Amino acid sequence: MSKVFEKSTAFFDTFERKPSLQKTTHYCPGCGHGTLNKIIADQVAELGIQDRTIYVGPVGCGVFIYYYFEGACASAAHGRASAVATGISRANPDAITVSYQGDGDLAAIGTSNAIHAANRGENMIVFFVNNNIYGMTGGQLAPTTLIDQTSTTSPTGRTVKNDGFPLQMAEMIAGLEAPTLVARVGVNNPKNIRQAIKVIKRGLEIQRDKKGYAFIEVLSQCPTNWKKNPVEACEWIDEVVSKQYPFGVFKDIADEGEAVERPCERVEFAAVAEQLGLVDKVDKGDQQIEMPRDEMRFKFAGFGGQGILSLGMMMAQMAMQRDMEVTWLPSYGPEMRGGVANASVVVSKNTIGSPIVDDPNVLVALNRPSLEKFGPLVQADGLIIYNSSLIDQVPPDLKGKAFALPATDLATEAGSAKAANVVVLGFYAKISGMFSLDDLNSFLGETFKKPALVDINLKAVKAGWDAAGETKL
Amino acid sequence: MKKLVKGNEAVVIGALVAGCDAYYGYPITPASEIAHAASEYFLPLGKVFVQAECEIGAINMVFGSASSGLRTMTASSGPGISLKMEGISYLAGAELPCVIVDVQRVGPGLGNIGPEQSDYYQVVKGGGHGDYRAIVLAPASVEETYRMTIEAFDLADKWRTPVFLLTDATLGQMMEPIDVRQEPTQRSEKPWALDTKPESNNNLVTSIYLDFDDMEVHINQLHDKYQQITDSEAKAEVYGADVPDIVLTGYGITGRMLRSAVDLLKDQGINATLVRPQTLWPFPTKVYQQVVKSGVPVLSVELSRGQFVEDVRLSLPGHSVKHYGRVGGNLPGLDELVEQAKLCLEEAKNV
Ligand SMILES: Cc1ncc(C[n+]2csc(CCOP(=O)(O)OP(=O)(O)O)c2C)c(N)n1
Ligand code: SF4
């Protein structure tokens, strides 16, 4: 153990990051923060991990820990140190990541971030400085303030009725699966300090060995806001505070566990391209397609499960492979959950302006509500293909040319009612001349991976193709 | 090679091409596909992906990884962006590069998941506290979403600042082809980063300057930087007639629809020109001043009751700018836009 009065080598010699009085700390006389800082620095130095240690400071009296620790430091927003430390730890798998937080910071505003970092078992050590008060902001009630304890926002003492019970963070965190070490120590007398040193060393060793999450709650005196002199404050911890918050090691499973390795790789483009499936595919961009007009605006509609969105996607995908401009826009959310889905698809030889199709050139309606809703939007020169397997009555107000296609029946014959969308694709390809049967077959072969599915879809597309007969637009 | 993807997926592909190392997010419609794609691609590549406990957690994890020098991003929609705002202010204050995507939905409150452009004030004017700015890029197509995501990472590094990509439910959900290939990206050296090298022991990432004079120096330096960004990074697309009868303006999906409106108006013998800002901060004020001649009516369209139009008006002092907005998740039809343009012309004649 290092000598008590020697400055740790993990501290700066003079506190250059501090604007004034660079020889002294900013803590009040007798404050527990100072003692804790020294123990941490000593142990970091002793373990020889100074270069690897990254400190995250809180908002609270610990905000300026970076004045003292000679190491890479970040200062987090109030309550967020555990989340910031998560980002640092994930980015630096070899770092010793230290999150230093007060009780307002960790047990009030930042509880959620703290609990979840613990629950993920992040490789980090959290020092939770419990002085049962908001020190920096002037002695307000903390979640850890004792029952009956006065503060500037509980002038007549904390009541359970108004403020709830003191929050036992160490016990809460010890109840989680992931944490490796959970303990509560004190820095108010030599005996407690000796124990604190032991536990803190253990916590840092766990970090050195990448063995997950360590949580060390430190009962710390705040003479200033407790309105006590330093000696009284230290005694009060033993006599009163530690009765509410007992000292102890609540959990230590470091010897059982393995090191937790979480990668953070720099990746070359080639690996990205492979991951995205960009390799081994050829663009067929030189083969243009014929279209009835330069820009075709499609609306595909039906109920969820009829493959209406994927029908639109197949159309867009095939057109894209032929170097057309395409857009595909789904209806989504509550509308889809209600059972009716639609996709707007635009295929164009030129840059597409609006992707929204409210005046379709072609409407595919696979169920009756879709035909009723979108049918009237199709103008006289437009085309409607409706699923006559499910629609027996055509609305009287249709202007566009309507084709009855028993898509569901033909698909069922081909092997699955779900292939009704592909029947439509075959039908439309034939009457429009946009794609040949070969195009369709090779596309479906690439799209469906399972041979049985390929077979059904090839049959379905042929059935649609044949149903068109010699009809041309 | 060409890939047909949703706008939301294009964000992730752009991020991968830009060499993004870490993604932190929390699900929200209509932005969730960004998190889906990020988890699908990042984890197998050994990159960092964490679904955070909330948006506040996510943005602070971004703070941590950005502090460590990683190319880092997060994405959300209105309600989540509101939660991120405190963290964004800290990122700006600490001069940390990162990319934040806002796929705008309808507000206020829970609103709905349809498209709107009503996060403009929050994102462009700075929803967080303090005197900061963030670069805001506004794509109008899936391809541009992809390109601008790559650009966003470069700009963030170049200026050490958070960069927003502001899209909306339509752009996020629609599919279009993107052309994916290796792009040259400018990843900066980050000697200030927090890492495990001995040299970084003196590195400090913070936004607090206790001394008032030091703080003033810091804020002034930020604003010197913002001035340089304003002078060099503002961008807009201009499309249509050289000598317009009317100027149409809008960003994102609206700007793209106005492009079609310009074509339709031309068919009817009306010369229109579109100004579509691609950066919302810095705002392309100079472009407006070049394109809009005195006396030419301006119609500004957005999916909001009037936020973007404020910057158009500030760019054209003394000029009358008419606003047209749809809200609630509704997009205007093209015929509607054409009609509004004609109305605007008509009103200008009667003045
Ligand atoms: C979002 C936000 N809310 C409130 C504050 C004000 N504030 C600063 S420190 C603090 C409490 C600090 O108490 P604690 O975490 O117990 O640390 P201590 O000062 O006692 O060490 C508060 C409320 C803030 N900085 N940010
Ligand atoms: S206010 Fe309390 S916690 Fe803060 S420095 Fe002073 S004694 Fe320490």
User: What is the ipTM, given to two decimal places?
Assistant: 0.97
- B189 secondary structure, DSSP code: P
Q: Ligand 1 centre and the CA of A70: distance in Å?
A: 24
- The chain-wide mean pLDDT, for chain B, equals 97
The answer to whether A231 faces chain B, any CB pair under 8 Å, is no
Spell out the per-residue pLDDT of chain A, length 473, in tens. 445 557 899 999 999 999 888 889 999 999 999 999 999 999 999 999 999 999 999 999 999 999 999 999 999 999 999 999 999 999 999 999 999 999 999 999 999 999 999 999 999 999 999 999 999 999 999 999 999 999 999 999 999 999 999 999 999 999 999 999 999 999 999 999 999 999 999 999 999 999 999 999 999 999 999 999 999 999 999 999 999 999 999 999 999 989 999 999 999 999 999 999 886 555 555 567 888 899 999 999 998 888 999 999 999 999 998 889 999 999 865 555 556 789 999 999 999 988 989 889 999 999 999 999 999 999 999 999 999 999 999 999 899 999 999 999 999 999 999 999 999 999 999 999 999 999 999 999 999 989 999 999 999 999 999 999 888 77
Q: Is the CB of A61 under 6 A from ligand 1?
A: yes
Taking the C-alpha atoms of residue B311 and residue B304, their distance in angstroms, rounded to an integer, is 14
Q: Ligand 1 centre and the CA of A95: distance in Å?
A: 27
Which ligand is nearest to the Cα of residue A60, counting in written order? Answer: 1
Taking the C-alpha atoms of residue B61 and residue B53, their distance in angstroms, rounded to an integer, is 11
pTM over 0.90: yes
Q: At what angle do helices B55-67 and A111-120 cross, to 10 degrees?
A: 70
Q: Are strands B175-179 and B2-6 parallel, antiparallel or unpaired?
A: antiparallel
> What values do phi and psi take at B298, rounded to 5?
-120, 130
Structure tokens at A116: 């979840």
Cα–Cα nearest to A27, from A61, A59, A55: A61
Which ligand is nearest to the Cα of residue A221, counting in written order? Answer: 2
Q: Ligand 1 centre and the CA of A397: distance in Å?
A: 67
In chain B, whose CA is at the least distance from the CA of A275? B41
- B176 secondary structure, DSSP code: E
Q: Write the residue in A113, A275, A330 that is nearest to B60 by C-beta.
A: A113
Helix/strand/coil (H, E, C) string of chain A? CCCCCCCCCCECCCCCCCCCCCCCCCCCCCCHHHHHHHHHHHHHHHHCCHHHEEEEECCCHHHHHHHCECCEEEECCCCCHHHHHHHHHHHCCCCEEEEEEEHHHHHHHCHHHHHHHHHHCCCEEEEEEECCCECCCCCECCCCCCCCCCECCECCCCCHHHHCCCCCHHHHHHCCCCCCEEEEEECCCHHHHHHHHHHHHHHHHHHHCCCCEEEEEEECCCHHHHCCCHHHHHHHHHHHHHHHCCCEEEEECCCCCCCCCCCCCCCCHHHHHHHCCCCCCCCCCCCCCCCCCCEEEEEEEEECCCCHHHHHHHHHHHHHHCCCEEEEEECCCHHHHCCEEEEEEEEECCCCCCCCCCCCCEEEECCHHHHHHHHHHCCCCCEEEEECCCCCCCCCCCCCEEEEECHHHHHHHHCCHHHHHHHHHHHHHHHHCCCCHHHHHHHHHHHCCCHHHHHHHHHHHHHHHHHHCCCCC
Which residue, by CA, sits nearest to atom 1 of ligand 2?
A135
DSSP 3-state assignment of B255? helix
Taking the C-alpha atoms of residue A28 and residue A33, their distance in angstroms, rounded to an integer, is 9
Dihedral, A249, A254, A256, A260 alpha carbons, nearest 10: 140
- Single-letter code of the amino acid located at A260: V
Taking the C-alpha atoms of residue B40 and residue A275, their distance in angstroms, rounded to an integer, is 9
Question: In Å, how far is B334's CA from the nearest CA of chain A?
Answer: 8
- Closest atom, ligand 1, to C-alpha of A62: 21
Q: Is the CB of A382 under 6 A from ligand 1?
A: no
Q: pLDDT tens digit string along B207-241?
A: 999 999 999 999 999 999 999 999 999 999 999 99
- Closest atom, ligand 1, to C-alpha of A129: 21
Cα–Cα nearest to B329, from B157, B113, B155, B14: B113
In contact, A371 and A365? CB cutoff 8 Å: yes
Taking the C-alpha atoms of residue A54 and residue A43, their distance in angstroms, rounded to an integer, is 14
Q: Is the CB of A134 under 6 A from ligand 1?
A: yes
The answer to whether A89 faces chain B, any CB pair under 8 Å, is yes
Q: Write the residue in B13, B16, B57 that is nearest to A116 by C-beta.
A: B57
Q: Name the fold adopted by A295-468.
A: Pyruvate-ferredoxin Oxidoreductase; domain 3 (3.40.920)
Domain ranges of chain A: 32-252, 295-468
Give pLDDT, residue A2. 45
Question: In Å, how far is B294's CA from the nearest CA of chain A?
Answer: 28
Taking the C-alpha atoms of residue A11 and residue B8, their distance in angstroms, rounded to an integer, is 47
Residues 6+ apart with CB under 8 A from A69: A10, A11, A12, A37, A40, A41, A44, A53, A55
Selected from 3.30.2130.10, 3.40.50.970, 3.10.180.10, 1.10.3720.10, the CATH number assigned to the domain covering A32-252 reads 3.40.50.970
- Single-letter code of the amino acid located at B51: Q
A175: Cα within 13 Å, side-chain hemisphere: 6
Count, residues in chain A: 473
Q: pLDDT tens digit string along B97-143?
A: 999 999 999 999 999 999 999 999 999 998 999 999 999 999 999 99
In contact, B117 and B329? CB cutoff 8 Å: no
Long-range contact pairs involving A168-171 (C-beta distance under 8 Å, separation at least 24): A168/A245, A169/A103, A169/A106, A169/A107, A169/A114, A169/A128, A169/A130, A169/A144, A169/A215, A169/A217, A170/A128, A170/A215, A170/A217, A170/A245, A170/A250, A171/A250
Is there a cis peptide before residue A19, judged by omega within 30 degrees of 0? no
The answer to whether B215 faces chain A, any CB pair under 8 Å, is no
